[in-house]
Amino acid sequence: MFRKQYVVVLKILLLLTSVYVNAGFMPSITVRASSTPNIPYNLGNWTYVTKPVYPVKINASQIPIGCNWTLVYTLRCDSFYHIYFYGDWISTLTDYDIYVYDPNGKLETLHTEAAGLPEHLGTTVDDPFFKPNHSGNYSFLIVNDLKESHGEAAATFMLIENIECNRWHERYITGKVNFEHVYNTTWAYEFSTNSSRVEVIIDVPNTLDMYEARLYIMANPSKNLGSLMNGKPVAWEPGLYGILDASKMYGGYNLEDDGFKISPATASCEYFGDDMFINYTSPSKGSTILYHLVLIGENGNGVLKFMIKTDFNPPEISILNQVSTVIEGNETIITVNVKDQDSLKAVLLKYSNDGWRTVTSASMSHVANQTYRCTIPAQPAGTTINYVISASDIAGNEAETQGSFKVKDQPNLTIFLHQNIIYANEKVEVSGQMPVPGAVIMLNYTCSDKEVVRYVTVSQNSSFTDLFMPEKIGNWTVSAYWQGDETHFAASSDQKKFVVQKVPTSLNCSISKETIDLGSKITITGNVHPINTGKPIKLAFTMPNSTVTEKYTYVNSEGTFSIELTPQMPGTWKVQAYLAGDNVYLPSTSESLQFVVNDTWLNIIVSFISQNLIYIVAAIGATVSAVGFFIYWRRRGE
């Protein structure tokens, strides 16, 4: 095993340390390197690295203090590259600086970390990856700082394309020629993920037979294998040269047919166009792992498509406006929120207005903040719309949710009152309109805790009328409601108010005579409006001595009443009639009438005598005495 690894490392070093001076560069699939890099400095030692898949070993003392070495790569401006420079030189002695020149010889970035700090070559200081501004040959000038450096330690320069997970990528691959690798026979990429499950899906064209696809676990900073630079893991350095750690899990990276591979992380083709699939589960759950993907062709050529799938969760769909009913003639807007890990591809709406016999599909438009919207055209009343919203991501995960709504006409239900105030025992008239002939309307009459429900039918001219006699005095409301049908929504009217008041009454009375003699009868008659048959009438008589006596009589069917009284006291009398109120009628009072009761002559004499009896007796006594004396005196005189 160690001999095989040594051979692999030796092959890589022999390939990478070839220095092309005054000779043409190795060809790229897109450009050829010029005879010498286009750079504004004395080139000195330089190496053209044929493709961005290999580590470049800088041996100890290879770049003396004050000297430099240039590495040239052919890069594409639409790719992201992970570039890092580390190794034995990471100490306080050796201080390497790196200058990056674009294909036009213009300085694009520079990296001058202090001694003891590894160089991380992102587009900016904060970027984990480098994205070239141009496609072509980039020169990476490594300088052993004359002023700051005190050593010439060994180092590793790694440049490899980083690919995004859960996206489709393409790579042109050529099979072996005479059993030997050519430029496009092998290629490699890196990616990192904290997903414990990794799937590699490779769509192989019918013109290509692949030898193998492999995954190598290159770093796990949580296990002290590799480290983090700008939040991204960099490979455990020995593993880049085919070395395995003690667990035999990490490292072993190579692009050779007979090189080391992890069986559960390897797939192969049996024939042209045979698609490949790797399903690998990391033993370090939750840790961020750096992987290298190696592709090796066998026969033929073609562009294969591949994806690193780490997202296995379907999108989450939430309907933001649950629509259950829609009015005829109105469009319906369906709005959803769709959450996905990072690779949402499409959100579709499918709907049917005939029970899925026919289906209409439309893409939902992205509005903002994971919100999507689509409009269903207006539909005729009586239609039921069934719809399904589906969401899919690039990783192939799918989800769907469904809903439905009914389309109906919304009739206008109105009512009005012919009068707002009625009296007890009167009927209130409620009229209304709704353009649905034959519909049965429910009228709800309410007064505090009293509720009365009545039903009326809409006529052919879309109108209806109800006459209702409330049984309770007070403030009433009335409203109309219709429950709807298959083509119409339920409808309700505004609430109307009316008042039921007690019936006002009037009470009149008269006396038969204004003057009577004591002992005579007087008749009091009267009438009540409206007629209150059987209602008691109270008549209050005030006697000359202010004593009040009450008499009762009843209203007859003609609304009149009558009562006789024989006063027992002469003088001025008063009489007033009263009608008590009830739940229907208001009380009323007549005017106060008066009459005089005269005394008779006999009563006057008797009264005089009774009042002057002592005087009368005295007078009679005196008279009798006088007569007696006169007779006595007369006789004596004879």
Which tens digit of pLDDT belongs to each residue from 563-579? Answer: 999 999 999 999 999 99
Query: Residue 385 forms beta bridges with which residues?
Result: 405
Maximum alpha-carbon separation in the chain: 214
Residue type (1 letter), 379: Q
| pLDDT value of position 262 | 94
| pLDDT value of position 120 | 72
| pLDDT value of position 609 | 66
Give me the mean pLDDT over the 468-485 stretch: 96
Give me the mean pLDDT over the 35-58 stretch: 89
Could you please report the per-residue DSSP string of 478-515?
A: EEEEE---SSB--EEPPPEEEEEEPBP-EEEEEES-SE
Q: In this model, does residue 20 exceed pLDDT 70?
A: no
Residue that has been written with the tokens 């409009």 in this structure: 375
The closest of 186, 281, 229, 260 to 3, measured between CA atoms, is 260
- The count of C-alpha atoms lying within 13 angstroms of the C-alpha of 366, restricted to the half-sphere facing its C-beta, is 10
Q: Would you say the pTM of this structure is higher than 0.85?
A: no
- The count of C-alpha atoms lying within 13 angstroms of the C-alpha of 186, restricted to the half-sphere facing its C-beta, is 19
Q: What is the pLDDT of residues 315-334, one digit of tens each?
A: 999 999 998 889 999 999 99
In angstroms, the first-to-last Cα distance of the chain is 205
Q: Which residues contact 16 (CB under 8 A, 6 or more apart)?
A: 47, 49, 54, 55, 56, 57
Cα gap 191→197, rounded to integer Å: 13
Q: In this model, does residue 523 exceed pLDDT 50?
A: yes
Q: Centre a 10 Å sphere on the Cβ of residue 321 and count the other Cβ atoms it contains.
A: 11
Q: In this model, does residue 35 exceed pLDDT 60?
A: no
| pLDDT value of position 266 | 98
Q: Which residues contact 29 (CB under 8 A, 6 or more apart)?
A: 172, 183, 184
Mean pLDDT score of the chain: 89
Q: What is the pLDDT of residues 346-386, one digit of tens each?
A: 999 999 999 999 999 999 999 998 999 999 999 999 999 99
Q: What is the pLDDT of residues 529-549, one digit of tens each?
A: 999 899 999 999 999 999 999
Of 213 and 120, more confident: 213
DSSP state, residue 123: S
Cα gap 613→607, rounded to integer Å: 10
Of 237 and 42, more confident: 237
Give me the mean pLDDT over the 450-475 stretch: 96
Q: What is the pLDDT of residues 439-458, one digit of tens each?
A: 999 999 999 999 999 999 99
Cα gap 521→564, rounded to integer Å: 6
What is the token pair recorded at 370? Answer: 């994971």
Cα gap 294→253, rounded to integer Å: 9
Least confident of 48-57, 120-129, 606-615: 606-615
| pLDDT value of position 630 | 67
Q: What are the φ/ψ torsions at residue 357 (nearest 5 degrees)? A: -70, -35
Cα gap 219→162, rounded to integer Å: 14
Task: Give the β-pairing of 571-579 and 536-542.
Answer: antiparallel
| pLDDT value of position 89 | 65
Q: What is the pLDDT of residues 393-434, one digit of tens each?
A: 999 999 999 999 999 999 999 999 999 999 999 999 999 999
Q: What is the pLDDT of residues 259-307, one digit of tens each?
A: 999 999 999 999 999 999 999 999 888 899 999 999 999 999 999 999 9
Q: String of b and e for 216-243 (b: at least 16 CB within 10 Å)? A: bbbbbbeeebbbebeebbbbbbbbbbbb
pLDDT-based confidence at residue 614 (cuts at 50, 70, 90): confident
| pLDDT value of position 628 | 67
Q: In this model, does residue 13 exceed pLDDT 60?
A: no
Q: What is the pLDDT of residues 73-125, one digit of tens each?
A: 999 999 999 999 998 767 778 889 999 999 999 999 988 776 566 777 888 88
Q: Find out whether 417 and 428 touch, Cβ atoms under 8 Å.
A: yes
Q: What are the φ/ψ torsions at residue 607 (nearest 5 degrees)? A: -65, -40
